[in-house]
Amino acid sequence: MLIDYEKVKKELEELKKQNAAANIACMKIEKKKNVRTCPICCQQPEVPVWWNGDRNGKFESCSASQANPGCLRCIRDYIHHAVNNNQTKIKCFAGCHEINLNGPKKWQLYGQRGRNPNDHPCEALARGLDDLGEGVTKCRKCDEECGSVYNLGMHIKNTCSHRLTKCKRCKKEMKIFELEKHRETCYHICSWCDEKDNIDANPIELKKDGTTDHYCPHKTLAKCRFCQKPITMNNIHEHKNCSLAKKGDLGVVCKSEGWKHNFKEHNGWTTNLNDLQDLAIWNHLEHSVFHQLYSASKQQNSEQVYDVVDRRFRDLNRLPPFTDLSSITQNNEQRFYTHSQIDNIITHRNNFNQEYRTLHRHRLPISSRFFGGNASMPMSREELSESQYLNLD
Q: Where are the alpha helices (DSSP H) in 235-361?
A: 275-278, 280-284, 288-299, 339-354
Q: What is the pLDDT of residue 1?
A: 59
Query: Per-residue pLDDT tens for 185-237?
Result: 888 888 777 766 566 677 888 887 878 888 888 788 787 877 777 888 888 88
Highest mean pLDDT range out of 1-10, 27-36, 258-267? 1-10
- Pick from 168-177, 324-333, 334-343, 368-377: least confident: 368-377
pTM of the predicted structure, to 2 decimals: 0.47
Q: Assess whether pLDDT exceeds 70 at residue 373.
A: no
Q: At 382, is the pLDDT very low, low, confident or very high (cuts 50, 70, 90)?
A: very low
For 39-62, what is the mean pLDDT? 91
Q: What's CA 266's distance to the chain center, in Å?
A: 51
Q: At 298, is the pLDDT very low, low, confident or very high (cuts 50, 70, 90)?
A: confident
**Cα(305)–Cα(300) distance, rounded to whole angstroms?**
12
Q: What are φ and ψ of residue 223, in 5° steps?
A: -120, 125
Between 104 and 197, the higher pLDDT residue: 104
Q: Assess whether pLDDT exceeds 80 at residue 53.
A: yes
Task: State the average pLDDT for the chain.
Answer: 75
Q: What is the pLDDT of residue 372?
A: 44
Q: Assess whether pLDDT exceeds 60 at residue 117.
A: yes
Q: Assess whether pLDDT exceeds 50 at residue 338.
A: yes
What amino acid is encoded at 124 in this protein? Answer: A
**Cα(188)–Cα(207) distance, rounded to whole angstroms?**
11
**Cα(147)–Cα(158) distance, rounded to whole angstroms?**
16
- Pick from 64-73, 109-118, 148-157, 250-259: least confident: 250-259
**Cα(121)–Cα(376) distance, rounded to whole angstroms?**
70
